[in-house]
Amino acid sequence: MSFARGSLLSSSIFRKQLVALTGLVMVGFILGHMAGNLLIFLGPNIFNDYADKLASLGELLWIIRTGLVISILMHIYFTAKLTRENSKARRTRYEVYTPSADNKFARMTMIYSGILLFCFLILHLTDFTLAEKEGAASVLGAQKLRLFGLVWNSFLNPWRDLVYILAVCSVGLHLSHGIQSFIQTIGFNHPRYTPWILKASVILGIIVAVGFSSIPVYVMVRQHTIGY
């Protein structure tokens, strides 16, 4: 698809602002999702109640889901376009190139951390969201624990833990650059706050990676001893 020259949607800045806005929607979702997931530490009843509450939102849940799907599709569409244009803007590479600004690894790998977390997203949805929550996979110690049991059982598999931890680390990496980038892209930069925003972005990225990872680690440590 191409947009008329000089129109907003063909402009480098406006498209970046759409990437930033859709990114922000997903950041909101990720933080909410993490807070919900961490309820697993409070035991099967609270965790399952939370899942039921979400499911009982009905139409509202579908509105949120639609918003998220639109956001992710727009985000991918425009970042793919931006990344392609950026590599076309310098066809001859430098023999020696020495980046010197901060957070180099995260900045240079945005498209890869993005692709990685997208592959994971699909896996994650089929694993948990679309899975049957009453079946054999939810049975833990002869008890049907529904979503709690499903999550617990799946994290008993160390390979799945590894993939999950890698994936949430790539989310954290993406956000360590993404959050401050969002703020700059929409046009906020202030000598007093920006240095803190740069730090906060990295810290939030770490919090997201550690927060999500804590669940499989906890399951691996507890194994079959859930003392509720």
Q: Which residues of this chain interact with other proteins, rule CB under 8 A?
A: 5-6, 8, 10-17, 82, 85-86, 88-102, 107-108, 110, 177, 180-181, 184-191, 194
Nearest to 202 by CA among 112, 104, 121: 104
Number of residue whose CB is nearest ligand HEM: 114
95 vs 138: CA distance, rounded Å: 55
Q: Which does 187 bind (CB under 5 to 8 A by kind): other proteins, ligand HEM, none?
A: other proteins
Continuous segment of H or E residues that includes residue 222: helix 194-222
In the numeric block, the tokens 């089929």 are attached to 126
For position 23 contacting ligand HEM by CB under 6 A, the verdict is yes
Continuous segment of H or E residues that includes residue 139: strand 139-140
Q: Which stretch binds ligand HEM (CB under 6 A): 62-70, 153-161, 175-183, 190-198?
A: 175-183
Contact assessment for residue 151 and residue 163, using Cβ atoms and an 8 Å cutoff: no
CB of 190 to ligand HEM, least distance (A): 16
For residue 54, give the 3-state DSSP assignment: helix
For position 200 contacting ligand HEM by CB under 6 A, the verdict is no
For position 118 contacting ligand HEM by CB under 6 A, the verdict is yes
Nearest to 175 by CA among 153, 201, 207: 201
Which of 114, 149, 205, 211 is the binder for ligand HEM (CB under 6 A)?
114
DSSP 192: T
Where on the chain is the footprint of ligand HEM (CB under 6 A)? 16, 19-20, 23-24, 26-27, 30, 72, 75-76, 79, 82-83, 110-111, 114-115, 117-118, 174, 178-179, 181-182, 185
